[in-house]
């Protein structure tokens, strides 16, 4: 019996909602630390941190509400008779739906009959590749410019300020490399696998649902790498841990007293 992907569809939707909640929660924590806890981060760095975090929360909200990536896929992945016929049986077996009863978009690199190139679908892959290359080009250029400029100017800085700048640069490196490994690699797999003309079936949507964690990953990296944020986070974690221990101790004590009272009440007169 053919295995369905309905579970993975439900899981992807749940993960997307959880990622949105995680992004919002972690972003608000970072903004709170910026204004009320971290005193050594000031000026431009503080405002940039707040702006980027707020943008991350806003973009995560737009993604979970409107799914803006649908716009590009709507025109370039519009199905025709070839894709409908090719995916008809697959959708019925994997998702228990009839292809004519729902809107869908399909990526097909080659025509299954004459093996000709489907240029409209290829254009979609080229556009996505161009967008990713443009983003990485900006990040690499700005990172290198920042590193080169820092090497010259930091000679006259104090040791504390040098440490601060090194932490921010390390944060930038992690913010580029971590999403590349855990987020963009699955996307590259999904986009370019059809070009190899391999007969393969797997729930592609579930493999890229981790994209919603991208803003939250940025926040976690900042909280972990930059000492000031890490100290503030540990402070609140210790407060929560102590309150939890105190509540657990009180609960255990009350439970023990209740058991003793019950035992006394059941003793024979």
For each of the domains in the chain, give its residue range(s) and CATH number, in order of start: 6-235 (1.20.1070)
What pLDDT, in 10s, does the model give residues 127-149?
888 888 888 888 788 778 877 77
117 forms beta bridges with 110
Q: What is the pLDDT of residues 41-90, one digit of tens each?
A: 666 777 877 887 888 788 777 777 766 555 656 677 778 888 888 888 87
- pLDDT, the chain, mean: 77
Which residues are within 8 A (CB) of 35 and not within 5 positions of it... i.e. 6 or more apart?
A: 50
Residue 149, Cβ density class (10 Å: 0-12 exposed, 13-18 middle, ≥19 buried):
exposed
* pTM of the predicted model as reported, rounded to 2 decimal places: 0.62
Q: Is the pLDDT of residue 199 over 50?
A: yes
Average pLDDT of the segment spanning 91-104: 77
């Amino acid at each position: 019996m053919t295995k369905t992907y309905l579970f993975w569809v439900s899981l992807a939707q749940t993960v997307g909602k959880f990622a949105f909640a995680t992004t919002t929660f972690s972003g608000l924590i970072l903004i709170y630390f910026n204004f009320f806890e971290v005193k050594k981060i000031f000026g431009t760095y503080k405002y940039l941190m707040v702006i980027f975090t707020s943008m991350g929360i806003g973009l995560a909200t737009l993604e979970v509400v409107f799914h803006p990536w649908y716009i590009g896929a709507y025109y370039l992945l519009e199905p025709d008779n070839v894709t409908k016929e090719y995916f008809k049986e697959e959708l019925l077996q994997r998702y228990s739906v009839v292809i004519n009863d729902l809107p869908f978009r399909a990526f097909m690199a080659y025509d299954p009959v004459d093996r000709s190139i489907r240029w409209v679908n290829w254009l979609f892959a080229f556009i996505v590749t161009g967008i990713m290359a443009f983003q990485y080009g900006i990040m690499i250029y700005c990172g290198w410019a920042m590193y080169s400029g820092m090497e010259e100017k930091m000679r006259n800085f104090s040791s504390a300020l040098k440490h601060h700048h090194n932490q921010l640069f390390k944060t930038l490196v992690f913010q580029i490399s971590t999403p590349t490994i855990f987020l963009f690699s699955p996307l590259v797999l999904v986009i370019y696998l059809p070009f190899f003309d391999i007969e393969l079936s797997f729930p592609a949507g579930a493999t890229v649902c981790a994209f919603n964690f991208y803003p939250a990953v940025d926040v976690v990296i900042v909280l972990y790498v930059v000492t000031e944020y890490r100290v503030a986070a540990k402070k609140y974690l210790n407060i929560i841990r102590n309150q939890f221990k105190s509540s657990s101790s009180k609960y255990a004590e009350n439970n023990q007293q209740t058991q003793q009272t019950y035992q006394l009440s059941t003793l024979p007169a």
